Structure 1
């Protein structure tokens, strides 16, 4: 066990509906979940979590029945074409789920336009008692920790740190420590040191080829030691190979156990 709040990110078991994700997470010992309210790729099944939808109501009821809460809803990709009409429905869904935060990623090379959009999302989120976490992603235009921190400061939002992307864009533990005061959520997994050859391979790794915490070369221990103990740790670890011999429930339990082990290792390192 650990005193940290542990969450299961939807991408770890993206084939599950949100109510099914809640059930599996509860069975494995997770306290919170991250919900993918919008399909990101054609391979994903879209979930109708719009206000008034049966699936939204079922998810809320399952959370209440099992004592699991929704930590984060993902994600809004600001690419220069997304407008308030696109993000408001997701914010409304997040509020209805009782989520704490909504994840925003940026794939827009125009910094001023991106900052304007982030600021707009932050204002609308605040109206719904939601926090925005800005996630730098290795294959998007926003793919560095210093730049994410700069945008987050200007937009007055928080940052989401994903262990895989930190490894892939070469963030250091010192950089993590410098931005730790703005970290609102940490996502853990692992990966080999060797960087995929191109963007397509980076995307594939991110979506279906991650390793459980402790099985690769990412500095998961350093990441956990650098952020405050009250920051929620969510395991985001989709793996086609890992799922070959494990059911959804078995995979969730495996991720819970490996994440707890990683946290214990980080805490023991602090004691040293």
Structure 2
């Protein structure tokens, strides 16, 4: 049975700088990390090593010495004033560090302009050997998988990519059939977490839970087995699971051990069911 690579997403330990994050990943059995180079919202935490050659070189040396690799960098938001050239230093740094993917959010309410911006970003990412993983989120201009598929389908080249986050699948109009309809070569990784029920009904609470109060696998009500059964068995998994009250209560090491254990159990059980079905 194929065991997918497991990643420690930036948001899970966002107070931890990239080099100490590698230490955590090594200690708890993660294969990869993701780092946040640009903030998700103004004033929030990020580590812009692409703006500091010394910091970038230090991080590259640390990765070179580790079995842990960098998988994704984040986050590029496609707003109305998107200028692909402004992100060139970030893409170049990601390539230098060995990243595979760039996490992309869509904010521009003009769908045609957003689609054009994504196509230009995908072209720039391809030039650096990266994929532009467009993440659908219900409060954004890319609210569900169908919207993401439509936008990505208008781009050309090898960088086309849709990022599946289990929380956003559950909180959006996305169906399992929608996930199954995503071309396999557009899938490069998926983010794993669980979530509280009942589902929030307003954007403010959707955002708060997504950024602050996700749950370990099988501790909420998301159909993780159904979601993962639609995905390739070897698709890399990123644990994106911010929950500071829980992390502080038990300590970071115990928390990450729990997240790895529950994620592995969930993904492996789906893989075993798929294997037995054949």
TM-score, with normalisation over the residues of structure 1? 0.94
Distance, in Å, in 1 between the alignment partners of 2:89 and 2:58 is: 18
8 Å CA contact 1:23, 1:66 repeated in 2: no
**Please, which moves more after superposition, 93-102 or 170-179?**
170-179
SS in 2 for 1:245: helix
From 231, 237, 257, the equivalent of 2:235 is 231
TM-score, with normalisation over the residues of structure 2? 0.92
Post-superposition CA distance 1:64-104 (Å, at most 9, x none) = 22211111111101011221233222212211211011111
Distance, in Å, in 1 between the alignment partners of 2:173 and 2:88 is: 33
Distance, in Å, in 2 between the alignment partners of 1:63 and 1:260 is: 24
8 Å CA contact 1:9, 1:235 repeated in 2: yes
Post-superposition CA distance 1:76-135 (Å, at most 9, x none) = 010112212332222122112110111111011111111111111111111111111111
Residue of structure 2 equivalent to 1:48: 48
Residue of structure 2 equivalent to 1:192: 196
Residue of structure 2 equivalent to 1:106: 106
User: Is 1:166 paired with 2:181?
Assistant: no
Residue of structure 2 equivalent to 1:126: 126
Distance, in Å, in 1 between the alignment partners of 2:94 and 2:72 is: 8
1:169 Cα offset (Å): 0.3
State how 1:236-247 maps to structure 2 within 5 Å. Answer: 236-247=240-251
**Please, which moves more after superposition, 50-59 or 183-192?**
50-59
SS in 2 for 1:21: helix
Distance, in Å, in 1 between the alignment partners of 2:60 and 2:174 is: 37
RMSD: 1.7
Q: Which runs of 5+ in 1 are unaligned?
A: none
8 Å CA contact 1:103, 1:135 repeated in 2: yes
1:41 Cα offset (Å): 3.2
1:43 Cα offset (Å): 5.7
SS in 2 for 1:179: coil
Post-superposition CA distance 1:216-257 (Å, at most 9, x none) = 111111222211123211110000232122322222222111
State how 1:25-44 maps to structure 2 within 5 Å. Answer: 25-42=25-42, 44=44
User: Is 1:176 paired with 2:186?
Assistant: no
User: Is 1:263 paired with 2:267?
Assistant: yes
1:8 Cα offset (Å): 0.9
Distance, in Å, in 2 between the alignment partners of 1:111 and 1:210 is: 29
Distance, in Å, in 1 between the alignment partners of 2:273 and 2:2 is: 15
SS in 2 for 1:77: strand
Residue of structure 2 equivalent to 1:94: 94
Residue of structure 2 equivalent to 1:80: 80
